[in-house]
Amino acid sequence: MKARLCVGNYATNAYCFESLGLMVYCMEELAYCLKQHAFLLGTEIMNDELLHFIGSDCQVPDLARELYPMVHQKGTLSDFVTSILDYVGFFEEAEVREIEDAVRLGSGLTDYEKKKRQADHLMEKKKYHAAIEAYDKLIEEMGEEAERDTKKASFVADLYFNRGVVYAHMFLYKHAAASFRISYDWKKDPETIKNYFLARRMELPQQEYVALMAKHPECYEISMQIEKNMQEVGEQWNTSESGMGLENMRSWRMTGDNHKYYSECDQMINMIQEEYRNYI
């Protein structure tokens, strides 16, 4: 971990991001807030109040002067945010560029679309519990609006679909299937119903799954495609590094080669622990 000097002073009076419901007291908190909510930022943050907070409350007048033309000559939101991040120096260059891209992607989107992007980003970063919470909150916010608006109904269907994907990544196939089913009820997308039956295929014992598909003869082609996909995934796993590693472990366990067996166990545990740390 690198040590970094703090920029400016710790303010007596906080600056409030009303659209985010957050308050910050120093430049580092400001930078962290901009990073964490990059997908939700709008041009409303480019205002004289924030310039006063930076220049007077935090005593960083040079940055305030640099930002002033962007506020009053309508500079871009991404340039405004990255100027703050670059000056504070709290994040690595690659991370700042990633934040810049996120801000740029969020420009011009509705609040709902921004929040969906943030939830999608959480899913991509494997922050699964946070992603589920974000999707659920957004679905609740849209409420009855979606029932009266076809475009919003399609948007809600996408939210349920993505929530199903997250549950599938968590191996919670029953919840995944329920999400895919609701998504299909909102928008009759063939890919969604395929994912619904695939989740049921992973959830149910073989006999129960066969009985389920027998009730849906219209989905025969889908069931055949699912079985083909399952076979392909199985073959890919058997030839993958992880699959062959497990097969070696079985072999070492059977032959009594405890040194190799426990050494491989330790490596796998360390890898899983590291992945877990990155997810939190």
- Do 103 and 25 meet the contact criterion of CB atoms below 8 Å apart? no
Q: Which two tokens stand for residue 167?
A: 């549950």
CA distances from 47 to 25, 31, 69, 74, 165 (A): 17, 16, 11, 10, 39
Distance CA 239, CA 159 (A): 34
Distance CA 215, CA 118 (A): 39
pLDDT of 3 strictly over 60: no
Q: Which two tokens stand for residue 229?
A: 């996909």
The pLDDT of residue 142 is 87
Distance CA 236, CA 228 (A): 12
> 39 Cβ partners below 8 Å, 6+ apart?
102, 103, 105, 106, 114, 115, 117, 118, 121
> 54 Cβ partners below 8 Å, 6+ apart?
8, 27, 30, 60, 63, 64, 67, 84
Paired with 16 in beta bridges are 23
Taking residues 163-169, report their average pLDDT.
95
The pLDDT of residue 242 is 64
Distance CA 241, CA 11 (A): 53
Taking residues 249-277, report their average pLDDT.
71
Q: Which 3 state secondary structure label does DSSP give 134?
A: helix
> Please, which pLDDT band fits residue 65 given cuts at 50, 70 and 90?
very high
The mean of the pLDDT values for the chain is 86
Taking residues 235-251, report their average pLDDT.
68
> Please, which pLDDT band fits residue 2 given cuts at 50, 70 and 90?
low
Q: Which two tokens stand for residue 184?
A: 């299909």
The pLDDT of residue 71 is 94
CA distances from 234 to 114, 173, 238 (A): 37, 18, 6
Burial label for 228, CB within 10 Å (0-12, 13-18, 19+), is exposed
pLDDT of 280 strictly over 50: no
- Max mean pLDDT among 142-146, 203-207, 225-229, 265-269 falls in 203-207
> Please, which pLDDT band fits residue 244 given cuts at 50, 70 and 90?
low
- Do 17 and 45 meet the contact criterion of CB atoms below 8 Å apart? yes
The pLDDT of residue 42 is 86
pLDDT of 180 strictly over 60: yes
- Do 111 and 31 meet the contact criterion of CB atoms below 8 Å apart? no
Taking residues 196-208, report their average pLDDT.
93
Distance CA 224, CA 210 (A): 12
pLDDT of 152 strictly over 70: yes
Distance CA 260, CA 125 (A): 33
| Cα torsion 132, 133, 135, 136: sign | positive
